[in-house]
Amino acid sequence: MINKVVSDAEEAIKDISDGATIMLGGFGLCGIPENCINALVEKNVKNLICISNNAGVDDFGIGLMLKKRQVKKMISSYVGENAEFERQLLSGELEVDLIPQGTLATRCLAAGYGMPAIFTPAGVGTEVAEGKEIRNFDGKDYLMEYAFDADFAIVKAWKGDTAGNLIFRSTSRNFNPVMAMAGKITIAEVEELVEAGELDPDYIHTPGIYVHRIFQGKDYEKRIEQRTVRKVN
Amino acid sequence: MAFTKEEIAQRIAKEIKDGYYVNLGIGIPTLVANYIPKGINVVLQSENGLLGMGPFPFEGEEDADLINAGKQTITTLLGSSIFDSAMSFGMIRAQKVDLTILGAMEVSENGDIANWKIPGKMVKGMGGAMDLVASAKNIIVAMQHINKAGESKLLPKCTLPLTGVKCIKKIVTELAVLDVLPEGGFKLLERAPGVSVEFIRQSTAGKLIVEGDIPEMRLD
pLDDT at B1: 82
Per-residue pLDDT at A33 exceeds 90: yes
Among positive and negative, which fits the CA dihedral A24, A29, A35, A41?
positive
Measured in degrees and rounded to the nearest 5, phi and psi for residue A14 equal -60, -30
pLDDT at A143: 98
CA angle A144, A150, A152 (to 5 degrees): 155
For residues A188 and A12, what is the distance between their CA atoms, to the nearest angstrom? Answer: 9
Q: For residue B123, list chain A residues with Cβ-Cβ distance below 8 A.
A: 79, 86, 89-90, 96, 98
The alpha carbon of residue B58 is apart from the nearest alpha carbon of chain A, in Å, by 5
Q: What is the pLDDT of residues B55-64, one digit of tens each?
A: 999 999 999 9
Per-residue pLDDT at A81 exceeds 90: no
pLDDT at A80: 79
Contact B131 A222 (CB under 8 A): no
Pairing mode of beta strands B50-53, B99-103: unpaired
The alpha carbon of residue A203 is apart from the nearest alpha carbon of chain B, in Å, by 13
Asked if the interface predicted TM-score (ipTM) of this complex is over 0.90, the answer is: yes
For residues B43 and B22, what is the distance between their CA atoms, to the nearest angstrom? Answer: 6
Any A CB within 8 A of B112 CB: yes
pTM of the model: 0.96
- What is the arithmetic mean of pLDDT over A202-216? 98
Q: What is the pLDDT of residues B98-136, one digit of tens each?
A: 999 999 999 999 999 999 999 888 778 999 999 999 999
B27 vs A98, higher pLDDT: A98
Active site residue B7: no
- What is the arithmetic mean of pLDDT over B175-192? 97
Mutate to test the interface with A, among B84, B91, B93, B102 (most CBs of A within 10 A): B84
* Least confident among A49-58, A80-89, B152-161, B162-171: A80-89
B176 vs A84, higher pLDDT: B176
Any A CB within 8 A of B88 CB: yes
Q: With pLDDT > 90 as the criterion, what percentage of chain B qualifies?
A: 90
Catalytic residue among B6, B15, B47, B62: B47
